[in-house]
Amino acid sequence: MCPMPNHHRRRPDSIRRTPSAKRAQATRPPLVRMVRIHELLMAGRFPNCAVVAGEFEVSNKTIQRDIDFMRDQMLLPIDYDSVRHGFHYTKPVTTFPTVKMTHGEVVALLVAQKALEQYRGTAFEKPLRAAFDKMTSAMQEEASFSLQDLGEAISFRPLGTAVQEMRVFEEISAAVLESRVLEFDYQGLKARQAEPRRVEPYHLGCIGHQWYLIAKDLVKNKLRTFALSRLSRPKRLSQSFRRPADFSMAKMMSDSFAAFETPKPSRVRIRLDEIGARLAAERIWHRSQDLKPLPGGGCEMTLEVGIAPDLENWILSWGRHARVLEPRDLQERIAATARAMALQYSE
């Protein structure tokens, strides 16, 4: 416990504050309090918990935790002087240990902060922003200013962000972490209405800005992938389960293009024109991709990947810049979809 002598309960005139200053200090992070404690210690003021707590309008216990952290985690030589009724440094201290960040780390932190923009307006925005504020509360003010300045240079513009209810996400994530059987209503993409499901939830994954639940369907006795955006009324049951030791999300999706699990990979060859080739070379679309330049411009992309709707949609997104060479059945499905699209504009 931090000693709290009666004659130190009155706040010294040197640290009295205006009402506006009080409001500002009430929101300051722990590092700001610790820096202030360090300043008082360096000045030989022998501060105690009551004095510092009064300055920041927090409890004495809060200041005691700050001092404990400075002594035990930052290894600062702090001790209490029972004669002067305050704390002091027992050894010379030249600088205050702070969170030091390289320019690259500051930029990376900025990217993380900017990535929150894709969840603006959704149920995830408030808890994500609160978590980010906690992470950055220990940064130096200089780094904070750097983030603000760099914010003018880097931005995110999300497209088609999935919207999930936070209650749904919390219930499902809890079931995954607790290994509890889960019930919910699920409406498949082609289904007219939702159907009840009972599953053993194994994994939550975010693929292409969309959250998916990987779970064992207890009725069909198969692993299934469920989009959280099409899931409703989740309920954890008292029944628990043990996740198979050989379950691996990475292994399960190793041959998938995106979110759809496929039984086995196929060799997919796509001819890209000159524009398509340039765009394809700018990104890694799949771990198996191989780009082979062709005479006269363009390239041939080869993938070892499972055939699924997400792959077909990706190929169609290239428009006239891409043409499937093999397998034949994939080529025919893409052609049929393209013809159906053209007919919609010919009516």
Query: Could you report the per-residue pLDDT of 226-257, keeping only the tens digit for each?
Result: 988 889 999 999 999 999 888 887 777 766 77
Highest mean pLDDT among 139-148, 169-178, 266-275: 266-275
pTM above the 0.75 mark? no
Which residue ranges form the domains of the chain, and what is each CATH number? 6-89 (1.10.10), 103-150 (no CATH), 166-252 (2.30.30), 266-346 (no CATH)
pLDDT tens for 182-204 read 999 999 878 889 999 999 999 88
18 vs 39: CA distance, rounded Å = 21
Q: How far apart, in whole angstroms, are the C-alpha atoms of residue 265 and residue 278?
A: 26
For residue 251, the model assigns a pLDDT of: 74
Rounded Cα distance, 329 and 324, in Å = 10
| 330: pLDDT strictly greater than 90 | yes
The torsion angle over the Cα atoms of residues 213, 216, 221 and 225, rounded to 10 degrees, is 20
Average pLDDT value for residue range 284-305: 90
Element (H, E) at 89: strand 86-89
Render pLDDT for 88-117 as a digit per residue (tens, 0 to 9). Answer: 999 999 877 765 655 566 556 666 666 666
Q: How far apart are CA 49 and CA 69, in angstroms?
A: 14
- What is the band of 24 on the pLDDT scale with cuts at 50, 70, 90? very low
CA distance 195 to 124: 26
Q: Judge contact between 150 and 107, C-beta under 8 A.
A: yes
Which one-letter amino acid corresponds to residue 249? M
Give the integer Cα–Cα distance in Å for 211 and 259: 10
- Residue 132: CB atoms within 10 A of its CB come to 15
Sequence-separated (6 or more) residues with CB below 8 Å from residue 167: 123
**CA–CA separation, 274 vs 294, rounded Å?**
9
